[in-house]
Amino acid sequence: MPVELTPSQALGLWHTVSRAQVRLDGRDLTLRQLAILLEIYLVPPPHTVRGLAAKLGVTKPVITRALDTMGEQGLVSRVRDERDRRNVVIRRTVEGALYLEKLGDLIIGQGRALAS
Amino acid sequence: MPVELTPSQALGLWHTVSRAQVRLDGRDLTLRQLAILLEIYLVPPPHTVRGLAAKLGVTKPVITRALDTMGEQGLVSRVRDERDRRNVVIRRTVEGALYLEKLGDLIIGQGRALAS
DNA sequence: CCTGATCGATACGGTAGCGTAACGACATGG
DNA sequence: CCATGTCGTTACGCTACCGTATCGATCAGG
């Protein structure tokens, strides 16, 4: 089911969620990092560095760096693919799922609070 | 009118918009910068460095730097307040309005395309 | 005046991102 | 085997951000 938004609602939603995210989230993820994280959790696995780079239109080191940072924070983990040891499979974590769950709640709450 | 979203829709919306933004937007604004930009354009003026810092829960240099960067890109402009010359009034620009208009269109389009 | 408060900007050292280019590890086809 | 190609990672130089501390300019009150 589509979600119909007016221009004011669309930007208002982005505004309140972005502001809340800046105020409350100590992780301070980049837009790129967040896009990568959402890709990993919302698209069926397996995910690889190369695949994510292609999907987002960025270079491979961008993905490696983002996985380094988010891995240190426990949001994702990496495992070597044993069937083709050149590949690295990116795996989800409980902490990452919880993080996105909270982001989802934030979006839903702000969407519900939208006026006009 | 509130916008009712399921968790899947909320994160899906964020996902597709973030991905498109990463792929298409050459400016690569920080989440903080985007929040500042939205604050300037969606909340009635006047806007000051101090006011934005308080609203977003960040320090003043963060605002100064963001205004430097976005000012170079023509998204905002700064004018000294002649009534109290300590203040700087942040003003909107045509280019900034166009930028957010495109972002709004992107959100609306992705919201409309949402399934389930 | 002049003292104190407040404005935005700046300096500083540190961290983390960027793109380009190269790397070692691994797989594959001849 | 060995040459070639494909993984992800790392190295490099650079830029931009961060927070803390401080700055000069400006205002307000005595």
Q: What is the pLDDT along chain B (116 residues), one digit of tens a residue?
A: 788 899 999 999 999 999 999 999 888 899 999 999 999 999 999 999 999 999 999 999 999 999 999 999 999 999 999 999 999 999 999 999 999 999 999 999 999 988 75
| Among candidates B7, B18, B100 on the partner chain, residue whose Cβ is nearest the Cβ of A108 | B7
Q: State how far residue B55 is from chain A, nearest Cα, in angstroms.
A: 8
- Asked if B59 has any chain A CB less than 8 Å from its own CB, the reply is no
Which helix (H) or strand (E) is A19 found in, with range? Answer: helix A7-24
* Dist CA A41 CA A97 (whole Å): 7
- The 10s digit of each residue's pLDDT in A1-18 is 688 899 999 999 999 999
* Dist CA B77 CA B79 (whole Å): 7
Please answer yes or no on whether A15 and B35 come within 8 Å at the CB atom.
yes
Neighbours of A115 (CB within 10 A): 8
Alpha helices, DSSP H, located in chain B: 7-24, 31-42, 49-56, 60-72, 94-113
A76 Cβ nearer than 7 Å to chain D strand: no
pTM, rounded to two decimals: 0.94
Beta bridge partners of A79: A89
- The 10s digit of each residue's pLDDT in A24-80 is 988 889 999 999 999 999 999 999 999 999 999 999 999 999 999 999 999 999 999
